[in-house]
Amino acid sequence: MRRSGGIFDVDGLNRKIAQLEEQSADPEFWNDAAASAVVLKEKAKLTRMVESFQGLVSSFEDAETMLELAKEMDDEESMAEGELMLKELQPRVRQFELEQMLSGEADDCDAILEINSGAGGTDASDWAEMLKRMYLQWSSSMGFKAKVVDEAAHEEAGIKSCTVEIHGQYAYGYLKAEIGVHRLVRISPFDSNARRHTAFASIAAYPQIDDNIEIDIVESDLRIDTYRASGAGGQHVNTTDSAVRITHLPTNIVVQCQNERSQHKNKATAMKMLRAKLYQHEMEKRQAEADAVNANKKAIEWGSQIRSYVMHPYRLVKDLRTGVEMGNTDKVLDGDLMGFMEAWLVQQSTAEVTQ
């Protein structure tokens, strides 16, 4: 790791932090609350990056000193301790490197995840529910908070679709790697003849953008419908029209929420989801050619999957974009996704450098 002039220019970042501090010291800084919040958020982000880097450098120097002393004193116990310090440093360095790849404007935002069943009938709906569980497990393993805000159950099994809010640092940056069609191959539990079936489900992710980012939503462009929320089997969760569906007429973007009993709360959540989708929509319009997320979304059609999960006649999960494979399908379905996410981030980072 180099301190400046290399991959991570800590001196340059410190200069930028100093500029932001000078900006925030201006007597008129707080006159524009939205602008000041953006500056403070950027300052906090850069400060966190520098502190993380300096912490890694300090730990590396401590390990290096320990090994040098151990070598001079021919002390095997100290040598082993120094080697352990270096080994424990590796995952921290890897995490830091990943965070440098998550440098997109919205990568550090919370995320809104959408899962939709596709071709495959009941198997596809069951597959969509399996994916929901997988991402909830992944969120938990990352220390993120996840909340299902909308879900449509299938008549026989599984779900037709669901929307999940995921709160955690870089949640959207990681989940960008999952956008696309996911294919499942297995012996269908719904086939009395125990034949092998293929099912598809699509994943979409949107950044839950900061309130300080302006998204122009004209009230007359919205159609707001209310209806009774329902659970599995069609049973009413409540007896009032608390669920809310909002359609943005110019873009035909639709969001809905039925998680809360209060229509007001459901509408607030739906509006937050709409802002996220409109932000993503605008970003894709501006960067249609260069935007990797948009390129993935164009490929969301049955048969153009990004990842295959095979459970019969062999067991293998393979990402078709990066070539990464894992034979332990159960582990992947329990939320072990970072290997796939990391490989995709590295691939995208390398592509950006070579462009």
pTM of the model: 0.72
Bin 216: left if φ > 0, else alpha if -120 < ψ < 50, else beta. Answer: beta
Q: How many CB atoms lie within 10 A of CB 44?
A: 12
State residue 230's pLDDT score.
Answer: 67
Q: What is the mean pLDDT of the chain?
A: 85
State residue 3's pLDDT score.
Answer: 37
Q: Does the pLDDT at position 319 exceed 80?
A: yes
Strand partners, 225: 245
Strand partners, 165: 112, 147
Domain annotation for the chain: domains and CATH numbers = 10-101 (1.20.58.410), 105-355 (3.30.70.1660)
Contact 158, 127 (CB under 8 A): yes
Contact 97, 192 (CB under 8 A): no
The 10s digit of each residue's pLDDT in 239-281 is 567 889 999 999 999 999 988 778 888 998 898 889 888 888 8
The 10s digit of each residue's pLDDT in 88-125 is 998 888 888 888 888 777 888 899 999 999 988 999 99
Query: By mean pLDDT, which of 187-196, 243-252, 277-286, 321-330 is the weakest?
Result: 277-286
